[in-house]
Chains A and B, each alone.
Chain A
Amino acid sequence: MRRTIAALAAVTLLGLAGCATDEPAAGPSGSASAAGSGTGEQSKFFVQADYDAELALLDATATGPADRPWEQVLNPKMVETAKFKKAGPHKLCFSNAALNNPWRQVGFKTMQAEVEAQGSRIKEFVHVDAEGKDQKQIADINDLLGKGCDALIVSPNTTATLTPAVTAACKAGLPVIVFDRGVDTPCPVTFINPIGGYGFGHVGAEFVSQRMKPGGKLLALRILPGVDVLETRWSAAKVAFDKAGVDVVGVEFTDGDPAKTKKIVNDYIQRHGTIDGVWMDAGAVAVAAVEAFQDAGKPVPPINGEDQLDFLKLWKDKGLTAIAPTYPTYQWRTPIIAALRILDGQPVSNPWKLPQPTVTQENLDSYLDLDMPPLHYAMCGCTDLPGYPQRWK
């Protein structure tokens, strides 16, 4: 409640100040500097156990076809699904959090291709886009329950807030498959996602903190607050930085806006003379960050991006010191596969942990495909799917 009172105070204070002085401008910024510089207190999303588990998974070996990572599983824990056995062809329903960024676009195209690849086994595939609105996705799920789906696939918009709806879906008796982001309930038959945020954040942070000069200044660029996938990435990176004693001079939110990113980086170069390392919780604005250094005539410090082709290309052309942990889009294939297995009554692993490859200097060339559009994700695992490559162009 302190927060609320603070809010009231702030609002009224600013109100009074409205006819008085410049104070409020100073007020918030003062209190903010704590959050602004240094890594600040650990995110409340941080769960030590999960962290340890994920880091362990990084070195685990996957079971399943080596050439089909989307079917592989790390440390499988099989669950019975006989009760869901059902004669095909099936009607699969998918409640999608949003389609508002390239990652989800590539992923969804991959999923559609997978559905196509399954051919006659799927008689209908219903897709509903929640447009990034929690309340709409809740309504969507409820809506889908009335459509006689054989299985429900959910990619939640927000973990906590979608939990009630997913629980309700489980109660409805049809197999529920959650992927990408999780929910705070064990009721889904399986939760599919790659190793996850801690792994992503850790790999990037480790690399950058090792390669940057000791005692150097590091700038952390984040997309948004409050998205658990991103939160875990950051909290893992935090641990790594604190361990390595890296001086994190700033943690800024870019809203995934390249212009904003360049301005921020530019100002930080201004303010600190030099930035020796850049860590980011998603690749969307990696290119912009690199450009900021180039435009400022500074060497590009060790940096991490993601498996988006524009970054990989820049990396190769400019010979950056970089790494690209990934959050593979091939995970969008898995829910379809899982759904069909469940409807066949075959056991599936829950959680279904997918391997999470990292693009490094060594394997860079194997992922860099110059024929695909710049915002395409190398880790789509879609080369064998119908309609490749046009569908993704």
Chain B
Amino acid sequence: MQTVQRPPLPLRLLRVRPGGLVPIIALLAVLLILVAVRQPDFFAPPSLMSFLGRSAPIILLAAGQYFVIVSGEFDLSVGALVTAQVVVAARLIDSEPAHTWPVVLLLLGFGALVGLVNGLITTRLRVPSFITTLGMLLILLGAVYLWSDGAPKGGLSDEFRRFGRWAFEDVPVLGRVPYALIVLLAFAALAVLVARSDFGRTLIAVGDNPRTAELSGVRVWRHRTIAFVLSGVAAAVAAILIGGYSGVSFQAGAGLEFGAITAVVLGGVALGGGRGSVVGAMLGALSLELLFALMNFYGVSGALRSTVQGAIILLAVAVSAPRSSSR
């Protein structure tokens, strides 16, 4: 291959490419500066650690959502899935330590199953994923409320809650390192590996141009279905962390689906598929969490948060992804 007028590396890094990381990193930087101004000790290891720990779930959800969105689909069911998982966990564990691990495995399986169903309905029955997952959202919430007659039953064992709540104490330099953070790092690494794998690369191709992908030997329906499964599993892990962090409640997953989608879009992933990186998606989620913390620090009234969130989204998208079609 002949390389023509290739700019030097630094320039290429700076080049704002749609779907690239530059915009989200910039946004993140701005937020960090704002935090630093208002709350310097936020960067003290303990508080930073706990912040990262508590942000783990939404970051994981964003990673899962990334795979679905980059393949050209939506997953609106993750929020409901998280709620369902937490409530199910509480009822099955019923504060009985021995049940912890079996239930954890069961949750992961359940998440994968829901993803599989989403995927198959979308790809095989050709139902737009927006509808599929919207329906799944209603079904999951309805079913779990029904199953627990409207009020969460049982309780989570401390063993279960440990993942989301406890931390490795007195680690040198860092102080306490939340288990959630470890879990996050592990799964984030996994996500990056998957995204870099042949599957991950071809998945983007599927989102960009399914016809070409099909004619190049990609089993499009299978790829998309797997993407949904990944999202489901991510939701399961997130549910374990959230349940651990804050205990059982029907609010556990409320609104997380939009949070995750927002994060992914902030991260420069194009709705409709074919563009974006999982790292960007996760950074997007991190910025979103940072934004909320920032609003707490600046004492923005709880009521106004959504306005700020909405404005940020519109700005970020208008600036970073001007190419996305109106579909």
B303 touches A258 (CB 8 A): no
Q: Could you say which of A14, A29, A225, A262 contacts B245, with CB atoms under 8 Å apart?
A: A262
- Please give, as numbers and ranges, the residues of chain A lying within 8 Å of B301 by CB-CB distance: 32-33, 35-36, 251
Q: How far is the CA of A264 from the CA of B54 in the complex (A)?
A: 11
Query: 9 closest Cβ contacts across the A-B interface?
Result: A267-B296, A258-B246, A257-B251, A36-B299, A32-B301, A259-B246, A253-B302, A102-B151, A105-B151
* Complex contact A270–B39 (CB within 8 A): yes
Within the complex, the shortest CB–CB distance from B36 to chain A, in Å, comes to 13
Within 8 Å CB of A393, what residues of B?
A: 153
Residues of chain B lying within 8 A (CB to CB) of residue A24: 307-308, 311, 315
Whether, in the assembled complex, A288 has its beta carbon less than 8 Å from a beta carbon of chain B, the answer is yes
Interface string of A253-272 (1 = CB under 8 A from B): 10111111111101110110
Indicate whether B215 reaches chain A with its CB closer than 8 angstroms.
no
Which residue, of B302, B303, B310, has the highest number of chain A Cβ atoms within 10 A?
B302
Q: Residue-by-residue, is B243-264 near A (CB-CB < 8 Å gives 1, otherwise 0)?
A: 0011101111010000000000
Q: How many residues of A contact B (CB 8 A)?
A: 54
Q: Out of A14, A19, A105, A288, which one reaches B246, CB within 8 Å? A: A288
Tell me the A residues contacting B by CB distance below 8 Å.
10, 14, 17-19, 22, 24-25, 28-29, 31-33, 35-37, 99-102, 104-106, 225, 250-253, 255-264, 266-268, 270-271, 284, 287-288, 291, 295-296, 310, 373-375, 393
* Chain B 137-157 interface mask (CB, 8 Å, partner A; 1/0): 000000001000111111100
Contact with A along B287-310 (1 / 0, CB 8 A): 000001101111111111001101
A365 → chain B, closest Cβ, in Å? 21
Is the CB of B209 closer than 8 A to any CB of chain A?
no
Query: Does B254 lie within 8 Å of A17, measured CB to CB?
Result: no
Is B179 part of the contact surface with A, judged by Cβ < 8 Å?
no
* Contact partners of A264 in chain B: CB under 8 A: 296, 302
Instruction: Sample 17 A-B pairs with CB under 8 A, ordered by A number.
Output: A17-B311, A22-B315, A25-B308, A25-B315, A28-B311, A29-B308, A32-B304, A105-B151, A106-B151, A256-B249, A257-B251, A257-B254, A263-B293, A263-B296, A267-B296, A287-B247, A373-B151
Task: From the candidates A14, A256, A295, name the one contacting B314 in the complex (CB within 8 A).
Answer: A14
A35 to B301, CA, bound (A): 6
Q: What 1/0 flags go to B211-251 for Cβ under 8 Å of A?
A: 00000000000000000000000000000001001110111
Contacting residue for B296 out of A255, A258, A271, A373, CB 8 A: A271
Docked complex Cα distance between A288 and B247 (Å): 8
Q: How far, in Å, is B185 (CB) from chain A's closest CB?
A: 20
Shortest distance in angstroms between A79's beta carbon and chain B's nearest beta carbon?
A: 34
**Cβ of B310: which chain A residues have Cβ within 8 Å of it?**
14
Q: Say yes or no for B197: interface residue by CB 8 A criterion.
A: no
In the complex, residue of chain A having the shortest beta-carbon distance to the beta carbon of B95: A374
- The 8 Å CB contact of A105, one of B42, B150, B251, is B150
Residues of B within 8 A of A104 (CB): 150
B312 proximal to A (CB < 8 A)? yes
SS class, residues of chain A in contact with chain B: helix
Which of B247, B249, B300 contacts A29, CB < 8 Å? B300
**Contact, CB under 8 Å: A261 / B246:** yes
Which one of A31, A99, A270 contacts B42 once the chains associate, using CB atoms below 8 Å?
A: A270
A296 to B242, CA, bound (A): 17
Residue in A22, A29, A258, A373 whose beta carbon sits within 8 Å of that of B153 in the complex: A373
Q: Which chain A residues lie closer than 8 Å to B312 at the CB level?
A: 25
Which residues in A have their C-beta under 8 angstroms from that of B297?
Answer: 267, 270-271
Does A22 contact B50, Cβ atoms closer than 8 Å?
no
Q: How far is the CB of A158 from chain B (nearest CB, A)?
A: 18
| Contact A100 B42, CB 8 Å, known A18-B315, A291-B246 | no
Residue with the greatest number of chain A CB neighbours at <10 A, chosen from B251, B295, B301, B319: B301
Query: Given the complex, which residues of A lie within 8 Å of B245, measured CB to CB?
Result: 259, 262
Output the least CB separation between A325 and chain B (Å).
21
B318 to A, closest residue via Cβ? A18
Closest to B91 in A: A373
Q: How far is the CA of A62 from the CA of B312 in the complex (A)?
A: 55
- Contacts beyond the supplied A24-B308, A258-B251, A310-B155: 16 A-B pairs with Cβ under 8 Å: A10-B307, A22-B315, A33-B299, A36-B299, A36-B301, A99-B150, A101-B250, A253-B302, A255-B251, A258-B252, A259-B245, A263-B54, A266-B54, A291-B165, A295-B165, A373-B151
Q: How far is the CB of A353 from chain B (nearest CB, A)?
A: 27
A250 surroundings in chain B (CB, below 8 A): 299
B189: chain A residues within 8 A (beta carbon): none
Smallest CB-CB separation from B149: which chain A residue? A105
Bound Cα distance from A227 to B197, whole angstroms: 51
Smallest Cβ-Cβ distance to A15: which chain B residue: B314
Q: Is B174 an interface residue (CB 8 A)?
A: no
| Inter-chain contact B315/A29, CB cutoff 8 Å | no
CA distance A270 to B294 in the complex (A): 11
Q: Is the CB of B296 within 8 A of A29?
A: no
Could you tell me the distance in whole angstroms from the C-beta of A305 to the nearest C-beta in chain B? 14
Query: In the complex, which residues 21-58 of chain B have their Cβ closer than 8 Å to any Cβ of chain A?
Result: 30, 39, 41-42, 47, 50, 54
